[in-house]
Amino acid sequence: MEFTASTIAGFLKGVLEGNPDVVVNTIARIEEGHEGALSFLANPKYEQYIYTTGSSVVLVNKDFIPSAPVKPTLIRVDDAYKAFAALLTLVDQSKPRKKGIHPSAVIEPTVKVGSDVYVGPYSCVGENCEIGDGCVIYPHVIIGDNTRIGKNTTLYANVTIYHNCIIGESCTIHSGTVIGSDGFGFAPQSESEFMKIPQLGNVVIEDRVEIGANVAVDRATIGSTIIRKGVKLDNLIQIGHNVEVGENTVMAGQCGIAGSTKIGKNCMLAGQVGLVGHLKIADGTRIGGKSAVHGDIRKENTTVTGAPAFEHRDFLRSSVIFRRLPDLYAQVQAMGKDIDALKRR
């Protein structure tokens, strides 16, 4: 990667202030900037660093007004964070793509493999699978029988896709993730024994889904566990059997979604959120970190927090009272003593 400031400004349709010929060949955080680096300033909390950074070029918002001289060349854009993300995407896409099938990979004769596909060492692809054009399958990936992988999907090392699952186009699944393992279905037979319920369904992951490392998405008992298009899942998330996650919903790390819960589209779940089974979560719901949701959320665009979770504003008011409980308790004790004294009179 090596670009001039004028080339970057042209790509981003930004306004350049400074030396148009300065060259950058790497990316750095603004507080760690050095010569030849490109940085960005989007959060006002970091403004102090733009006056001391060694970066050669800095992306800033169009309305940024410096309060002191600035040494780097500036490129003004509508949204510095989005512009920086666009540049990172450009750099990532410019990397050479792996192609070809490694001799140690095991691919059954009944598999349909598209064009420009890479299959890394020791990966295994089961019978009657379909691998779409442009897929990248890194080493030690296991793909079970009758599974379909859409075009331009990337499976990183040690991903496991069980049988009969469907993965859409332009998906990314990171290392250690398991798609289609059995749902947690056991029927009690006595006080000490359980009978396993066969999990006969599958997992369907639609287009443009990204799933982090060490995520488990269980197959349905009957039917499908469904991850709709555009969903983004962080690392270490558990999705139970027959769950449906709506379009463009995002979840942070360590969330756990119990079986048969239906989450709407455009929802946001912070870290360590837990949802019990068979819930319905409305579109646009936001759930604060470490919250435990025990009941349906039917109103769209609701924000909830707490364990058990309830409306965020009420939670904040309750938190104020909770912090005052020791004082309130002392006051109640004092009032009790006063009442006893009055009774004795």
Residues with catalytic annotation?
241
Identify whether the C-beta of residue 281 lies closer than 8 Å to the C-beta of residue 300.
no
Class of residue 168 by CB neighbours under 10 A (exposed 0-12, middle 13-18, buried 19+) = buried
Bridge-partner residues for 3, per DSSP? 24
Among 252, 286, 280, residue whose Cα is nearest residue 266: 286
List the beta strands (DSSP E) in 46-95.
57-61, 73-77
Angstrom distance (rounded) from CA 287 to CA 150: 31
Cα–Cα distance list, 80 to 40, 42, 89, 190, 291 (Å)? 6, 6, 14, 61, 32
Identify whether the C-beta of residue 169 lies closer than 8 Å to the C-beta of residue 151.
yes
**No. of helices (H) and no. of strands (E), the chain:** 4, 40
Identify whether the C-beta of residue 232 lies closer than 8 Å to the C-beta of residue 214.
no
Among 260, 211, 263, 262, residue whose Cα is nearest residue 237: 211
Angstrom distance (rounded) from CA 128 to CA 140: 19
Whether omega before 72 lies within 30 degrees of 0, making that bond cis, reads: no
Backbone angles phi, psi at 244, to 5 degrees: -125, 125
Class of residue 199 by CB neighbours under 10 A (exposed 0-12, middle 13-18, buried 19+) = buried
Identify whether the C-beta of residue 184 lies closer than 8 Å to the C-beta of residue 167.
no
Give the H or E element holding residue 92: helix 80-93
